[in-house]
Amino acid sequence: MVVKPDWLRVKAPQWERVGSVKDILRDLDLNTVCEEASCPNIGECFHHGTATFLIMGPACTRACPYCDIDFEKKPVALDPTEPERLAEAVRRMNLNHVVITSVNRDDLPDGGASQFVRCIQQIRILSPQTTIEVLIPDLCGNWAALETILNADPEVINHNTETVPRLYKRVRPQGEYQRTLELLMRSRQLAPWVYTKSGIMVGLGETDAEIQATMADLRHVDCDILTIGQYLQPTAKHLGVQDFVHPDQFAKWQALGEEMGFLQIVASPLTRSSYHAEQVQALMKQYPRSKS
């Protein structure tokens, strides 16, 4: 068994603020990936009044062995009131930037693209100044569904690469590495004004050379933003951690990513794909894009 090092310890949250966020989520009957996926940053994010909303869930149609989201329950029909409830939560929490993600819904013809669109539209009505990031599944390669989401004009479209090609069959058995790259490439082609983003987990047996090659692949499809963080085993039944990567190595990847030309790269042991996602607003001011 690999022992968790000191640098992965997180500060205890101030539960008064955390409780306030939880009260809003419970009142509006909303799910967050913070809770469903056992994110180690939940205390910090809830304390600062932020959350990554999980729509169309919490049951997932895929069984990725690294993920703590439930895949044993049967997915339910989409709730037409979910977009309105989500938008109300964004309003109550006074979010400057919101991240919306989802479980995989391979049972739906469009993979849930229409629900993403409705959520974006409702947030625009109640909180027009809030910037929106959507962290989407691969939609089974349904590029018309991808275009539907992009046409709703989120500021950021995020799709996680998760791991290096060699480990896909073990880590992400129902995913395809090339499909992930194609999704990011098509997003850039279909909506060049939208910032593209992806994330990688480390500690699953990949090598430094493989991480660098994956970073190069992401730059080849003009991915703007990259996050790199340490994989943590949610329960004993999930994939085990092969290595706890030292913070110095994350710093090297951060420097390399900047050299490669990523507009923004966040690399640290506790980094997750939506951790401090609001920092994209500074990027948008530095590298503005227009649809026209």
| Position 164 in a domain | yes
Pure H helices in the chain:
15-27, 33-36, 42-47, 82-93, 113-126, 143-151, 168-171, 177-190, 208-220, 247-260, 280-286
* pLDDT for residue 79: 95
| Position 240 in a domain | yes
| Position 23 in a domain | yes
* pLDDT for residue 44: 59
| Position 1 in a domain | no
| Position 154 in a domain | yes
| Domain count across the chain | 1
* pLDDT for residue 42: 54
* pLDDT for residue 70: 74
| Position 171 in a domain | yes
Determine the structural domain holding residue 144 and report its residue range: 6-286
| Position 162 in a domain | yes
Running along the chain, 292 residues long, what does each successive block of 10 average in pLDDT?
74 54 84 54 54 84 85 87 95 90 94 98 97 96 98 97 97 96 98 97 97 98 97 91 96 98 94 81 92 78
| Position 166 in a domain | yes
Tokens found for residue 56: 């169309």
CATH number at residue 60: 3.20.20.70
Q: Is 74 left (phi over 0), alpha (psi -120 to 50) or beta?
A: beta
The model's pTM is 0.91
